[in-house]
Structure 1
Amino acid sequence: MTTSRVLGVVVLLACTLSTTEGFAQASKSDGTLGQRAYKAVCMGCHSVEPGVMKTGPSLFGLSGRKAGSTSGSEALRQSGFVWDRDSLNRYLHDPVKAVPGTTMVVRMEDAEVREALVDYLLTLK
């Protein structure tokens, strides 16, 4: 792993850890928890705009898409994953365990927040 990649991962993890409090108070019932989780954890690397690539692929139109088909690691392309509620939940819980060799290392341990994020991502059509 290159020095710049390691630095990027460290910065991303620091940002993730420092911003989770910002959405922890959101209620799943008000419909904003998933969007807040995206903004706090995912937005640094992923867009929700069609075709807009950042470090990672756009999350627009994710539902039903083959993992790695727009960009991503070779491990994702070879995983056989098709993004749906179950595969997103497993991947977001522990990307490295779900797809060994993936370049995404950010885990979402909190099941309620993760499920709200998955719900939000599946609406992006």
Structure 2
Amino acid sequence: MEQRRAPRFNTELNAELSTHENSLGDCVICNISRSGLQIECSMTQAAQLIPNQGGPPRIPDIQLTLSFSVPTSARDKTLIRVTCDLIYVRRVTREKHQLGCQFREFHDDCNEHLEDFLRHFATSQPKSV
């Protein structure tokens, strides 16, 4: 059963991923909502965020910054830049990981542009049965 307050929308948005210390390169946003997003990244990127500590995975207090462009009703491309809290890391394959992120801060008032994108261009994610 879906327990999210905001519906998720499928996407394939290219984004630039970074932390306060360094750039981690490109990733893909695979779904997004009004409260957060899920990205797919490489094993190398995930390992830079959470090094293998020899025990069960533990999510430290990590903030990520993502920059990506979306179409809006006013423009073809609008830059979105957000800081997020890392909520989970999930291994999909040996080389691919998914990161769940919750929005913490929208830069340059881009939350209105994201809202416009979700309202006019995003496609709802089908519910699993």
Q: Indicate the structure with greater strand content.
A: 2
The TM-score, its normalising length taken from structure 1, stands at 0.24
Higher share of residues assigned helix = 1
Max Rg structure? 2
If the length of structure 2 is used for normalisation, what is the TM-score? Answer: 0.24
